[in-house]
Chains A and B, each alone.
Chain A
Amino acid sequence: GAVVSQHPSRVICKSGTSVKIECRSLDFQATTMFWYRQFPKQSLMLMATSNEGSKATYEQGVEKDKFLINHASLTLSTLTVTSAHPEDSSFYICSARDPRTASEAFFGQGTRLTVV
């Protein structure tokens, strides 16, 4: 089946630095990918919709200048957490749907970010 790969799976960074997370669709082209964040014991919250070749659409309350999204190709979207703070520590997951099957959404493995 279709696969979405996310990298890195785990990262620890210092406050004030930036972290880039990559999300790739391995065997299908995704014009749209989604970025979610999940805090412990909470559900996934949609942060933004990544659109290939155009600006991302951010959900209410998500700072676009802090969470930079780039979707430069049909198989790759990146999320950069800029000037990270400890409160940004969370589990970040991307997802995409295979337009050929038009049903199941596939998720990357997630990135556990810890800001110290």
Chain B
Amino acid sequence: RKEVEQDPGPFNVPEGATVAFNCTYSNSASQSFFWYRQDCRKEPKLLMSVYSSGNEDGRFTAQLNRASQYISLLIRDSKLSDSATYLCVVTLIYNQGGKLIFGQGTELSVKP
């Protein structure tokens, strides 16, 4: 079983649609959780951290369920510029300086 698993993509949606990404992780000792965005041939960039209480940043909402070991990302009113690959990321042991474990990524394509 992979340590971090995401929905297989790609997702093709029209502008304005709401998109949900799901992610599960296998290690219950996981410490921190993130969603990163990666554009083609570029390095990943942090989209948002994910907290147990849930957090929102504009059109983006992230949720964490530690009991189910499940993370989600919701994008509302999707824009063309949201087209990218979304990576679910987990850190295992904090004092190892931030070792990140990546999901395989889910590609999103927003069409006019």
Binding site for B on A (CB under 8 A): 30-32, 34, 36, 42-46, 49, 91, 93, 95-97, 99, 102-105, 107-110, 112
Q: A43 touches which one: B41, B94, B102 (CB < 8 A)?
A: B102
Residues of B within 8 A of A107 (CB): 43-45
Contact of A46 among B44, B46, B94, B99 (CB under 8 A): B99
Residues of B that sit less than 8 Å from A by CB? 32, 34, 41-46, 49, 87, 94, 96-105
A residues less than 8 Å from B42 (CB atoms) = 109-110
Query: Do the beta carbons of B101 and A105 come within 8 Å of each other?
Result: no
Separation of A105 and B49 alpha carbons in the complex (Å): 11
Smallest Cβ distance from A29 to chain B, in angstroms?
A: 11
Q: Measured between C-beta atoms, what is the minimum distance from A27 to chain B in Å?
A: 16
Contact A96 B98 (CB under 8 A): yes
Q: Which residues of A contact B34 (CB under 8 A)?
A: 104-105
The listed residue (A30, A105, A108) touching B100 by CB distance below 8 A is A105
16 more A-B residue pairs beyond the given contacts A49-B99, A110-B41, with a C-beta to C-beta distance below 8 A: A32-B98, A44-B44, A46-B99, A46-B102, A49-B96, A49-B97, A93-B44, A97-B98, A99-B97, A103-B32, A104-B46, A105-B100, A108-B43, A109-B42, A110-B43, A112-B41
Q: In the complex, what residues of B have CB within 8 A of residue A108's CB?
A: 43
CA distance A44 to B45 in the complex (A): 13
Identify which of B41, B99, B104 contacts A91 (C-beta below 8 A).
B41
